[in-house]
A and B are shown apart, each in its own frame.
Chain A
Amino acid sequence: MESLMGLLSGFAVAMTWQNLLYCLIGVTVGQLVGVLPGIGPTTATALLIPLTYGMQPVSAIIMLAGIYYGGMYGGTITSVLINTPGEAASVITCLDGHEMAKQGRAGVALGVAALGSFVGGIASILGLVLIGPPLADFALRFGPTEMFSLMLFGLTMVVGLMGASIVRGLVAMFIGLSLSIIGMDPISGVLRYTFNQPFLINGLDLVTIAMGLFGLSEIFLGMENLAAVGKPEKLTSLLPNRDELKSTTGAVLRGTGLGFLIGLIPGTNSAIPALLSYSMEKKLSKTPGKFGKGAIEGVAGPETANNSYCGGAMIPLLTLGIPSSPTIAILLGAFIMHGLTPGPILFTQNPTFVWGVIASMFVGNAMLLIMNLPLAGLWAKIALVPAKLLYPIVLIISIIGAYTVSNDLWDVGVMLVFGVIGYIMKKIDIPMAPIVLTYVLGTMMEKALLQSVKMNNGSLVGLIESPISLTMIILAAVVLSGSVYAEIKHKKSAIAGEID
C-alpha cells in the first residue's frame, strides 16, 4: 500500500510538463543511440551528464534513465531491418529478426519486439515497485562492514561474469580500483597519487573515463572499417497471426522473468538475458530447426528479456547504491553529482525523487511503444547515415561533452588517453565494463573498509563477525573459486566472451 501511494505521488512528479519533456528527450536520445551502431547508452548517458548540471535532480535522472532503457528499444529496429545491431543486447535479434524481414514479415518482428519490450519493461518496473522498498528497509541494517562485504561480492561477480578470462577481468578490476585511489583520501583527506597537479585533487572524472573507454574507443574501432550498411526491408503488418500469438506470449513471459532476475545480479549486462532467453526458447521449442530462419520466439524472448533487465538493474542501484552495469554506474555518478546518495536511505530521504524516477519509467516505456510501432521505418533510415559522416560528428560531440565536465581541456586529454587504452584493451580482449564499475565502487569500498576497521579498533575481524558480512564474503569466495575452476577446466560459458 505504501508503495502504491509512493508510486501515485511519483506520477504527480513525472507527469509535470517539464519532466514529460525531459523523459521524451531521454527516450528519444536512447532510441537514437540504440539505432546508431557504435554509440551505446553508456556513451550517451556519460555525454549528457554534464548538460544536466543546471537541471533539477529528478528531471536529470528521468532524462538519463530514459536513455538507458530507450537504447534497448532502438537497437531492435536496425537489427531487424538492416541486420545491423545498434547495441550489444540486440545482436541476437539479427538472427531471426532479419530473417523474418527477408520473408516480408519485418513489421511482425518489430511489432512483437516492441510489445515484448513494453511488457518486459513495465513488468520489471512493477517488480521494482514491489521489491525496492522492502529491500531498502532491509539494507538500512547494513553498516560499513556489511556494505564493504556486499561491494566485495559485487566485485567478484563483475570479475567472474564479465569477459572470457578471469585473469583479464582481474586486470580490468585492478585498473579501475587503482584509478579510484587517485585524489583525496576519503577519511583523512591526504592527497594521494596527484603528482602535485591541482586537477588530480578530486581524482579522475568518471564521465571522462567512461567516454574514453566506451565512446572514443568505439569511434577508433568504427573508423577502421567504414563500410556502408544495406537498405532497410519494407514494413507491412505489425501483429503476429493467431498461431504465433501463443508461442509469442510464452516467450514474452519467460523473457520477462529471466531479464528481471539477471538484472538483480551485479556484473551482468543486457546482452546476457537476451542471449540466455534465445537459448532457452530454442531449447523449449518444438521446432528448434526454425531458429535462425525466422522464428518469432527468437525475437520476442530476447527483446523482452533485455528490456526487463533494465528495470531489474535499477533495484541494486536504488536500494543498495551498487551499480550492476556500466550504464548504471554512470547513472550512479549522476546521482552523486546531483547531491544524492544512492542506497537505502534514498527511499526515506528523497521519496519524491525515487518514485518520480520510477513513475517516469512507466511513462517512458509507453512513449517508446508509441514511437516504435508507427515510426520504425523512419528510425531505420537514420541508421543509414554513413559511418564516415557519423563518427566525426560523434567525436566532436564527445569532445564537447568531455570539455563540459570542468570547462577545461584536461578532461578532453583524459578522454583521449582512455580512448586509446580502451581501443587497445578491446583488441586484446580485456573487458572494459569492470574498470568503470570498480572505479565507482573503489572509493565507496575503501571508505567502508576504513570505517569498519575503525569501528573494530583497527581489526578486520568485524568482517567475519557480522552474519550478513560473513555470508557475502562466503558468496564472494564461492563465485571467485567457481570462476577460477571454470577457467582452469576451460568450461567457462562462451556467452560471457561473446558479450564483451
Chain B
Amino acid sequence: MDETTNEASRKGFSGWVRRQNAGLWFGMGFLAFSILFFKMSFDLPYQSKLGAGPGMYPRWLSGLSIVVALIYIWQSCSIQVFRVGDCFPGRQALLNVATIFFSCLAFLFLLNTVGFIIAGSVLMFITFVRNYRLVPALALSVGITLICYLIFKVCFSVPLP
C-alpha cells in the first residue's frame, strides 16, 4: 500500500481532508467567483450612448461562467473524481511545498521593513535549512541573496529596497 492510500484511509481531520473531492471544492470556488462577477456586472450599465455598455460583456461572460462551473461540478462528482488524498502528495512532500509558500509570505512581510538582503536571506534560509546543515544553509542563503542583489540592483538597476 503506498503512502497516499495509507493517508487516505487515516481517521480524524486529516483523513477527512484527504477523502474530500478536490474537483468539487475547486468547482465550488470557481462557481462562487463567477456568481460574484455576475452580481457585480449588474452595477455596470448594460448599454451606453455608444451602444454596448461596460456591463454587457462581463454579464454574458460571468453568466456563461456559472453554467460552465455547474457542469464542471457535475463532472467532478460523477465522471472524474479527484480525491485530495490521491492527487496531493503525502505529509512530508506537502511540508516541502508549504515551506516554499511560507517563506514567500515571510519575504512579503519583511521586505519593506528590513530590505531585500535580510528578507531574501530569510526566504532562502527557510527553504535551505530543511535540506542542508545550519552553517551551509546560512552561507548559501546570504551568498545567493547578495549575488542576486548585485546582479539585479547593479547590473539591471532594479530598485530593490
Interface residues of A (CB under 8 A from B): 50-51, 54, 165, 167-168, 170-171, 174-175, 177-178, 181, 185, 187-188, 190, 192-193, 219-220, 223-226, 388-389, 391-393, 395-397, 399-400, 403-404, 407, 409, 412-413, 416, 419-420, 423-425, 427-430, 446, 449-450, 453-454, 457-458
Q: How far is the CB of B57 from chain A (nearest CB, A)?
A: 5
Tell me the chain B residues, 102-161 only, with Cβ under 8 Å from chain A: 103-105, 107-108, 111-112, 120, 123-124, 127-128, 131-132, 140, 144-145, 148, 152, 156-160
Q: Are B101 and A181 in contact (CB under 8 A)?
A: no
Residue of B nearest to A180 (CB): B61
- A388 CA to B131 CA, complexed, in Å: 7
Chain A residues near B93 (CB, 8 Å)?
223-225
Given contacts A428-B87, A454-B52, contact A412 B160 (CB under 8 A): no
Chain A residues near B132 (CB, 8 Å)?
388
Residue of B nearest to A189 (CB): B54
Q: List 21 A-B contacts (CB under 8 A).
A: A165-B75, A167-B72, A174-B68, A175-B30, A178-B37, A178-B65, A187-B54, A190-B44, A190-B45, A224-B89, A224-B94, A388-B132, A392-B144, A396-B120, A397-B148, A400-B158, A403-B160, A416-B104, A428-B23, A428-B87, A458-B52
Q: Are A450 and B57 in contact (CB under 8 A)?
A: yes
The yes or no answer to B32 lying at the interface (CB within 8 A) is no
Q: Are B107 and A392 in contact (CB under 8 A)?
A: no
Q: Are B54 and A409 in contact (CB under 8 A)?
A: no
Chain A residues near B34 (CB, 8 Å)?
174, 178
- A168 CA to B76 CA, complexed, in Å: 10
Q: Are A187 and B50 in contact (CB under 8 A)?
A: yes
Tell me the chain B residues, 63-98 only, with Cβ under 8 Å from chain A: 64-65, 68-69, 71-72, 75, 80, 82, 87-89, 93-94, 96-97
| Given A395-B123, A397-B148, A449-B52: 16 more A-B contacts, CB < 8 Å | A170-B72, A174-B68, A190-B45, A192-B58, A220-B100, A223-B99, A226-B131, A392-B123, A392-B128, A392-B144, A396-B123, A399-B104, A416-B108, A450-B56, A453-B51, A458-B51
Q: How far is the CB of B148 from chain A (nearest CB, A)?
A: 6
Q: How far is the CB of B130 from chain A (nearest CB, A)?
A: 8
- A491 CA to B6 CA, complexed, in Å: 34
Chain B residues near A413 (CB, 8 Å)?
108
Chain A residues near B75 (CB, 8 Å)?
165, 167
- A348 CA to B52 CA, complexed, in Å: 32
Residue of B nearest to A449 (CB): B57
- A225 CA to B131 CA, complexed, in Å: 12
The yes or no answer to B8 lying at the interface (CB within 8 A) is no
Chain B residues near A412 (CB, 8 Å)?
104, 107-108
Q: Classify the interface of chain A: helix, strand, loop or mixed.
A: helix
Q: Are A404 and B158 in contact (CB under 8 A)?
A: yes
Residue of B nearest to A413 (CB): B108
Residue of A nearest to B30 (CB): A171
Residue of B nearest to A420 (CB): B101
Given contacts A171-B69, A174-B61, contact A400 B152 (CB under 8 A): yes
Residue of A nearest to B125 (CB): A392
Residue of B nearest to A195 (CB): B40
Number of interface residues of B (CB under 8 A): 66
With a 10 A CB-CB cut-off, give which of A178, A395, A396 has the most chain B CB atoms: A396
Chain B residues near A425 (CB, 8 Å)?
26
- A427 CA to B21 CA, complexed, in Å: 12
Q: How far is the CB of A48 from chain B (nearest CB, A)?
A: 10
With a 10 A CB-CB cut-off, give which of A167, A181, A219, A226 has the most chain B CB atoms: A167
Chain B residues near A171 (CB, 8 Å)?
27, 30, 68-69, 72
Chain B residues near A399 (CB, 8 Å)?
104, 107, 120, 123
Residue of A nearest to B74 (CB): A167
Q: How far is the CB of A269 from chain B (nearest CB, A)?
A: 23
Select which of B54, B72, B82, B148 is within 8 A of A400 by beta carbon: B148
Chain A residues near B16 (CB, 8 Å)?
none
Chain A residues near B89 (CB, 8 Å)?
224-225
Q: Are B50 and A454 in contact (CB under 8 A)?
A: yes
Q: How far is the CB of A291 from chain B (nearest CB, A)?
A: 31
Q: Are A407 and B50 in contact (CB under 8 A)?
A: no
Q: Are B145 and A396 in contact (CB under 8 A)?
A: yes
Q: Are A409 and B22 in contact (CB under 8 A)?
A: no
Q: Are B80 and A226 in contact (CB under 8 A)?
A: no
Q: How far is the CB of A449 from chain B (nearest CB, A)?
A: 7
- A388 CA to B64 CA, complexed, in Å: 43
- A392 CA to B69 CA, complexed, in Å: 35
Q: Are A224 and B82 in contact (CB under 8 A)?
A: no
Q: Are B33 and A392 in contact (CB under 8 A)?
A: no
